[in-house]
Amino acid sequence: MHSKYLIIGGTGAIGFAVTKALQEAGESATLLVRNRTAAAEQLGDLSGLTLVEGDVNDTALLKDMAVGADFIFHGGNVPYDKWAKAMPVMTRNVIDAAEHAGATVIFPGNNYNYGETDQPISEITPFNPNTRLGQVRVELEKMLQRATDQGRIRTLVVRMAEIWGPNVTNKQFAPIFENALKGRKLPWIISASTPQQLLYSKDAGRAIVLLTRRDDLDPYAVFNLAGTRVPSMESWLKQVGEIAGKPAGVSVLPKRMLSVLGTFVPILREVRSMAYKYETSVLLNDDRFTGLYPDFHQTPMPEAMAETLKWFADNGENSNRNRNRNRAKRRKTRVDAVVRFAVDNVAIGVFPVAIGLAATQIPALEGFAMYMAVAAGIYWTPGLHGLTDKLRGRAKAV
């Protein structure tokens, strides 16, 4: 009898890997996705999968989807600068849905909870975050721990090293493989000379599926997945270039430049706060997992790199599929700009006339007519933009 899985974030880096691992294991799964068409294109093979379009914050939909599920994979995510506000709400919704269904929450963890440390991190190492992002991660895990202690849910936390691989399209790893395919320098930030742990996404997906098949886990179970310890990011990056057949060297963005950029880009400000992760080695100890699965073999690094390069060649920014999609986006952007320009100019013409007529009826306002017109334009124009968007959407639907 197959377990039933509800996957939230199935098109994200780890959720995608878990979904593919479930398919390979012959399991079925239901995925909550923001855009069904885009998700279907991204996932490719849909055997055993049911895609439902919706949002993790639609609590009624989430509870309805959770009914009958044994596991809910909580891979919902938002940009770093939105974590503090959005992630606790998402997690609360997932907990409520899991309680409603009697399901176990699978939570993909990371090492942010521990801050800078020179000691290997085990499953019982005390949390010691030194960044806002780390504090958010601790808050999320404490929410899950409390709900488990109260008997509302069961939880499986799988704490992972840095994830890379197919469909890992974040700004840390995607540019590496995109550039490798073009023969350009491979980018990293702050320091490329420090040893790091890297976990291939397919291996992470397989490991998580293995853990869900155990019937002897504690109600609140934690496992580390350490991946491979590379002697330096520079050596790893150079190997990527060699596998791509276009070695072009490494380019490192200095911390000072990252600090400058962080002044203007909130996400980079959050990355800058975690500079210690690039300057030192934050290492996970996964003896607990390897003790249970001594025959679990990680994908050989050259093979994993080749698979990832192929995925980016087929699906990345420079693939034929995405070039066509980007051209369509550019056309849509140009049309939107023309419509907005027209709306703005209509507003510029209409509001002064309307305010002027009103002022003639109220003499006390006559001297302020222009200021009122400008204020009205500022206030109402975004609403007009929304109206034109809706009208254009209806026109397309017809």
Asked whether the whole model's pTM tops 0.85, one would answer: no
Which among 293, 318, 343 is the end of a domain? 318
Q: Is 116 in the same domain as 235? A: yes
Q: Is 137 in the same domain as 255? A: yes
In the predicted model, is pLDDT for residue 341 greater than 80? no
Q: Is 252 in the same domain as 370? A: no
CATH code of 312's domain: 3.40.50.720
Q: What is the pLDDT of residues 55-91, one digit of tens each?
A: 999 999 999 999 999 999 999 999 999 999 999 999 9
The number of angstroms, rounded, from the C-alpha of 373 to the middle of its chain's C-alpha atoms is: 42
Q: Is 71 in the same domain as 128? A: yes
Q: Is 242 in the same domain as 208? A: yes
Q: Is 215 in the same domain as 232? A: yes
Quote the percentage of the chain above a pLDDT of 70: 79
Q: What is the pLDDT of residues 357-369, one digit of tens each?
A: 665 655 554 454 5
Q: Is 134 in the same domain as 248? A: yes
**Helix 36-43 with 13-24: angle, nearest 10 deg:** 60
Q: Is 162 in the same domain as 275? A: yes
Q: Which range is least confidently modeled, 31-35, 225-229, 314-318?
A: 314-318
DSSP category for residue 81 = G
Q: Is 85 in the same domain as 222? A: yes
Spatial distance between the Cα atoms of 285 and 123, rounded to a whole number of angstroms? 8
Note down the domain range covering 150: 4-318
Note the pLDDT of residue 378. 53
Q: Which residue intervals of the chain are DSSP H helices?
A: 13-24, 36-43, 59-66, 83-101, 132-149, 174-182, 201-212, 233-244, 255-262, 266-273, 276-279, 287-292, 301-315, 320-361, 369-397
Q: Is 230 in the same domain as 288? A: yes
DSSP one-letter string for 310-358: HHHHHHSTTSHHHHHHHHHHHHHHHHHHHHHHHHHHHHHHHHHHHHHHH
Which among 318, 348, 383 is the end of a domain? 318
In the predicted model, is pLDDT for residue 352 greater than 90? no
Q: Is 134 in the same domain as 246? A: yes
Note the pLDDT of residue 262. 86
Q: Is 314 in the same domain as 329? A: no
* Count of structural domains, the chain: 2
Which among 275, 293, 318 is the end of a domain? 318
C-beta separation of 8 from 20 below 8 A: no
In the predicted model, is pLDDT for residue 398 greater than 50? no
